[in-house]
């Protein structure tokens, strides 16, 4: 499970950063300065990376037996700027809350 969570967290951050760069840098450059280079490069990269994000989310959700609604909401988080960062934190907190806690050994 740890590997699936790590894969999800890494790709969520990468997709989130790519989307923020696309929206905050690429789109203004395209529409204000008529330079579509950033949109072409980062937009294409974000599209391919988003497919990896979907696969990582699906893998994690199946391992954790999430309901369909939760899985779809987490998948959609990669399409809205900054929301993938929020979703990544929420998923991490959900997993921390679900993990059984082992008591600390008592020295004695």
* Distance in angstroms (rounded) separating the CA atoms of residues 41 and 20: 14
Task: Report the percentage of the chain scoring pLDDT > 70.
Answer: 90
- pLDDT computed for residue 97 by the predictor: 81
Q: Band the pLDDT of 9: cuts 50, 70, 90.
A: very high
Q: Is the pLDDT higher at 50 or at 102?
A: 50
Taking the alpha carbons of 90, 95, 101, 107 in that order, is the dihedral positive or negative?
A: negative
∠ CA 48-44-77, nearest 5°, is 55
Q: What is the pLDDT of residue 103?
A: 58
Determine phi and psi for 81, rounding to 5 degrees.
Answer: -55, 135
Quick check: 101 pLDDT over 90? no
Q: What is the pLDDT averaged over residues 66-90?
A: 92
Hey, CA dihedral for 8, 10, 14, 17, is it positive or negative? positive
């Amino acid at each position: 499970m740890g590997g699936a969570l790590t894969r999800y967290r890494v790709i969520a951050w990468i997709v989130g950063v790519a989307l923020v760069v696309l929206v905050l840098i690429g789109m203004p450059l395209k529409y204000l300065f008529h330079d579509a280079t950033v949109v072409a490069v980062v937009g294409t990269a974000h599209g391919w990376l988003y497919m990896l994000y979907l696969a990582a989310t699906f893998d994690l959700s199946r391992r954790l037996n999430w309901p369909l609604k939760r899985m779809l909401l987490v998948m959609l988080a990669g399409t809205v700027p900054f929301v993938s960062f929020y979703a990544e934190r929420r998923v991490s907190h959900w997993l921390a809350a679900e993990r059984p806690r082992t008591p600390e050994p008592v020295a004695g």
